[in-house]
Chain A
Amino acid sequence: MAKHKQPQLDTSPKVSDEIRHTTCYMCACRCGINVHLRDGKVAYIEGNKDHPVNKGVLCAKGSAGIMQHYAPSRLNAPMKRVGERGEGKFEEISWDEAFEIATGWLKPIREKAPEKLAFFTGRDQSQSFTSWWAQAFGTPNYAAHGGFCSVNMAAGGIYTIGGAFWEFGAPDWEHTKLFMIFGVAEDHDSNPIKIGLGKLKARGAKVIGVNPIRSGYNAIADEWVGITPGTDGLFILSMIHELLKSGNVDLDYLIRYTNMPFLVNQDKDSDEHGLFIRDKDGKELVWDRVKNQPAAWDAKGVKPEMKGTYEVNGIPCTPAFMLLANKYMTDEYTPDAVAERCGIPAKRIKAIAAELAQVAFGEQIVLDRPWTDFRGEKHEQMIGRPVSFHAMRGISAHSNGFQTARALHVLQILLGSVEVPGGFRFKPSYPKPVSAHPKPHHDFAPGKPLNGPHLGYPRGPEDLAIDENGKAKRIDKAFTWENPLSAHGLMHMVISNAHAGDPYKIDTLFMYMANMSWNSSMNTTGVMEMLTDKDENGDYVIPHIIYSDAYSSEMVAFSDLIFPDTTYLERHDCISLLDRPICEPDAIADSIRWPIVEPDRDVRGFQTVLIQLGAKLGLPRFVNEDGSDKFEDYADYIVNHERRPGIGPLAGFRGKDGKGKGRGEPNPNQIQAYIDNGGFWIDHIPENASYFKPWNMDYQNYAVERGLYDSVQPFVFDVYQETLQKFRLAAEGKGDIQPPDHLREQVRASMDPLPIWWEPFEQTLIDKEEYPYHALTQRPMAMYHSWGSQNAWLRQIHGHNPMYIPTAIWEANNFEDGDWAKVSSVHGSITVPVALMNALNPNTIWTWNAIGKRKGAWALQDDAPEATKGFLLNHLIHELLPSKGDGMRWNNSDPVTGQAAWFDLRVKIEKTETPPNLQSQPDVAPQESPVGRGPENVEYGKEWT
């Protein structure tokens, strides 16, 4: 045998010249990253171990940041359109000219009719700033993308517990023993969920996944429930039925922390039927079962009754809990009654309910942490029910999603598992009850700023954005009777409504990071037609479109004026508590982005562009009294803007000395302090304030100290939702503001103060036998939110997408590998490749989201697989429901919030000839690429090897 020899190896080579800490921007997760620079170039990106969100880990998108940052599809300079809309023909112009064009359009609008500007932002993370700009401009037409994303989840949560899943809160990963996840393939909080699942797996805790498709998180779930799409609410209410019937609800929790004991007016003729009975101070009343008399709900020593009927001041009333029990204990909700619709055997529904009860009540956990509640009662321990839940778009993006989200929160509450050890925990600045949120504002006038923030949470019909004739004041018809609680607006209706001139015509559509001519719209082909449609004079129906994006996306081609944005490594940003925070249940945190590399192109961060545009338009918040610019750029705004005295975009290192936490005057060195601290600021919540946050005075006082609230805001959970009942009363003909007749029934039926389930709208309007299957999309983890087709590494993982077909449908159609099929909805059809998947609900087909690309976009070659085999399901989904024959345009949206009902889609499928060129249909004509095409081969990092 020869002797083993091996070469000398340097195992300590140089890694980088410098590490700069900033925040990732590939999705809403917003992880901390360490960017290694070498010769001024990005050499390596890794997760920041100290960062509260990702604790050092980083997903595929984050690690592929190099390819994102250096993508050939980056825009180079401002551009104006020179061809027809959609062609992609542009001419590069100077910033001066770009601003001149923009002010030429916007100045007259502001002076005469500010509502003729519709300003909508996509997956932007600076909504508190962009909305503040839009308020200054004076248009009522502002929103971000929440309406087509997950407003049902947000609003359902806020209206029930003052928070929701994702950035509002998280499971108690350290203590939970049973975790149930609904309808999440990949979503917000993506790395924290993976970190959390890893913790559960390491401990051997159980995971139940509820999703028609067994991918991703559901693949590792210990138990998979392949539910029929759109029936989650029914499944949840059936489990509630089981829990009630067996007496497995946390009564003590319901009495202490929810409005379940509140007395509800039962006088059907009263204008206040279904509302709470209040004393003369406006306090809700309960029935004290010891004293046998009504009492204010928070009176000292009160022992509320939970059943029975009573009379208070001659009004018949009953505790809200009785209404809940009576509703869900009916046979309508037995597992046997719902099993077939849910696609889950009754036995299994019962078994899961039993397991929830067993873990919640049989395996309660106790932390020895004293705390004091808002009634002044001291508790020696924190008692937890270790079951937790998470849900997102899968249950949210249905026309019954709002009430389904509420049902899930009610389930958590009945199990006593919200804000307790082992359960669901809020992340500051949540919990924040509806009362702590603004109402919607929509009063506009020429030359004037709007009267307040656009988006908010209506408390009743009086808060709707309608004029005295009932006409919508907003272009997206948010906050109207069609969808009264549309807290995030309806971005998916903007183009459709603007094109239809319903409720009015607009002049300029101004959008940021929203690929509305492609994957962010339903009815993609139709939207492209609306954007390019001309009137009888040959003018575009939507006269002007301004768009800002960092990349040559599909939407760029449909715009008249382009503001080129920077990449995420070239910009200032703040991930602000005023906006969508990155806090953890145990800590307040915020963070920044800063230009760790300078742009090599003539581009500017969009927020800086807005500041400069605001100044050129003379908007009040953007110019000083002497007419000079108020802010130099976005960084200047981040440091010096105060939303309330002492409260600014960044909470850390405030005050002249940089020691202020949450509150304090602007600190000119704040950004440097963040940079020195790793790009973020964190403040840990004291242990005794860490749970029971809505009722824990230690937390409440801490939150006020840090500026999250200006006064303590303890509240009880709105299991019974009075606001909904107010709308319902109006629908029943009570009060001054009432819905138009054609909407009365929809409002009455949908605004139930207790969660209910109804069949998703689309399937009630079509022939279910003709369109027998559900069709869904899932977000691929490696591309979620970054639509990484411009990314040379990620596009190798997901370069095209098949339609996955379950076994029975596969066999019925005699499909074989490599086959193609025509998939049709009542609205349209697509021709796409198919693939077999067994681990799938038997009536559901699905594909990856947003893989298909238009030829010419993203600097890809025209024969890129994304543009040939790849496809969008969006073509089959319409923003309007199939006609009801009443001449009305009915949104394909949740009737409560207006959330786009992406997942209500029903389809049929038939085998087709395999196209010889393997081209999916529809095949949209190519756009020209204003940035050329990417290089043939890439060898990144060659100079260092």
Chain B
Amino acid sequence: MHPATSVIIFTALSGLGFGMMVFLGLGMLDVSGWVAFVFVAISFALAGGGLLSSLFHLGHPERFLMAFSQWRSSWLSREGILSMAAMGLFGIYALLWIFMDNRIPVLGYVAAFLSVLTIFSTSMIYAQMKSVPRWHTPMTAVLYLLYGFAGGALLTTQVALAGWLMLALAIAQIVTWVQGDGAFAKAGSDMGTATGLGFLGKVRLLEKPHTGSNYLMSEMIHVIGRKHILKLRIIALTLGSLIPAVLLLALDAGHMVALIVILIHLVGLFTQRWLFFAEAEHVVGLYYGQR
């Protein structure tokens, strides 16, 4: 899949933002006033900024309100509604917290729960795609949630928790890659089933339908070299979770360390998200001789 910047930013930042809301909503981070405001503002900036970024992916962003209508069937619609609900509720919770110094636990728990659901529904936008076997696994949800939780914990200064979550994330990430590498083959689609001509022999593409390019090719077919993938995976794994885990668990984390860990994690996270899209092969590639 084409690793579109807007979508990478969307999933990465909104995951962090809602991850923060989870921990803030659960009543962690014992601060108040301006300090609370700063944390709340960061969580809103991340969640809102991510969502805003996703609008750039749309052909008609001005119609975005329509996207809230199909919660019965569409994970994207659910994600939209849940994110608004989560942010709305968390907003009320935060207002009371910042200005009234009153953290109402029930409100916070519900907001946290909605934030978890939001991250989950974001993940399900991808995990539901049977046409992209690498994504079509519960691990996608696990991964998105863990990235959200680990990043959220880190950003809400839950050092030890963040450390353990980072460790869990590293394990989940490795499992996902191992599983994902075999997913396409396991899904059972190949050029033979795509064309239905497998019974006649080995199928290969002789001519693309057009010598010119098209939307499908630029959107769904993204070829990256194996060596390149390995390099990026190492970066994503080490920076995204392993090094942060080690730093968080082993070092006495002060503000500077936390800031460095956050930066390291962000680099890893964006690398992971780029790979998440770039590595994912859509079965439509079979019609173009890809794979």
Contact = CB atoms under 8 A, between A and B. Distances in A.
B72 interface: yes
Contact of B211 (A2, A797, A837, A839): A797
A799 B210 CA distance: 8
A799 B213 CA distance: 10
A798 B210 CA distance: 6
B188 interface: no
Nearest to B206: A837
Contacts of B206: 837, 839
A799 B207 CA distance: 12
Contacts of A837: 206
A798 B212 CA distance: 8
A796 interface: yes
Where chain A touches its partner, the secondary structure class is loop
B270 to A, nearest CB: 30
B254 interface: no
A366 B209 CA distance: 44
A839 B209 CA distance: 18
Interface in B151-199: none
Interface in A258-280: none
Interface string A835-848: 00101000000000
A800 interface: yes
Contact of A797 (B72, B73, B209): B209
Contacts of B209: 797
A796 B72 contact: no
Contacts of B72: 2
A488 to B, nearest CB: 33
Contact of B212 (A2, A799, A801, A839): A799
Nearest to B213: A796
A865 interface: yes
Interface in A794-846: 795-801, 837, 839
A796 B72 CA distance: 40
Nearest to A3: B72
A921 to B, nearest CB: 19
A798 B209 CA distance: 9
A779 to B, nearest CB: 15
Contacts of A2: 72-73
A800 B209 CA distance: 13
Contacts of B73: 2
Nearest to A817: B289
B239 to A, nearest CB: 33
A23 B33 CA distance: 81
A922 B161 CA distance: 67
A800 B210 CA distance: 10
A840 to B, nearest CB: 10
Contacts of B212: 795-797, 799, 865
Contacts of A797: 209-212
A189 B206 CA distance: 26
Contacts of A801: 211
A350 B227 CA distance: 55
B238 to A, nearest CB: 34
A799 B208 CA distance: 12
Nearest to B207: A835
A2 B73 CA distance: 9
A798 B211 CA distance: 6
A799 B211 CA distance: 6
Nearest to B214: A796
Nearest to B209: A797
Interface string B210-252: 1110000000000000000000000000000000000000000
A890 B209 CA distance: 42
Contacts of A839: 206
Nearest to B208: A797
A796 B217 CA distance: 14
Contacts of B211: 796-801, 865
Interface string A848-871: 000000000000000001000000
Nearest to A837: B206
Nearest to A219: B206
A324 B173 CA distance: 81
A1 to B, nearest CB: 8
A126 B201 CA distance: 49
A2 B212 CA distance: 42
A796 B213 CA distance: 8
A837 B207 CA distance: 10
A837 B205 CA distance: 10
Contacts of A799: 210-212
A797 B207 CA distance: 10
A797 B206 CA distance: 14
A162 B212 CA distance: 45
Contacts of B210: 796-797, 799
Contacts of A800: 211
A797 B208 CA distance: 9
A865 B213 CA distance: 12
A800 B73 CA distance: 44
Interface string B91-120: 000000000000000000000000000000
Contacts of A796: 210-212
Nearest to B211: A799
Nearest to A800: B211
A839 B211 CA distance: 20
Nearest to B212: A796
A799 to B, nearest CB: 4
A796 B210 CA distance: 6
Most A C-beta atoms less than 10 A away, residue of B206, B210, B211: B211
Interface of B: 72-73, 206, 209-212
12 contacts: A2-B72, A2-B73, A795-B212, A796-B211, A797-B210, A797-B211, A797-B212, A798-B211, A799-B212, A837-B206, A865-B211, A865-B212
- Across chains A and B, which 9 residue pairs bring their CB atoms closest together, nearest first? A796-B212, A799-B211, A2-B72, A796-B210, A797-B210, A799-B212, A800-B211, A798-B211, A837-B206
Given A796-B211, A797-B211, A801-B211, 15 more contacts: A2-B73, A795-B212, A796-B212, A797-B209, A797-B210, A797-B212, A798-B211, A799-B210, A799-B211, A799-B212, A800-B211, A837-B206, A839-B206, A865-B211, A865-B212
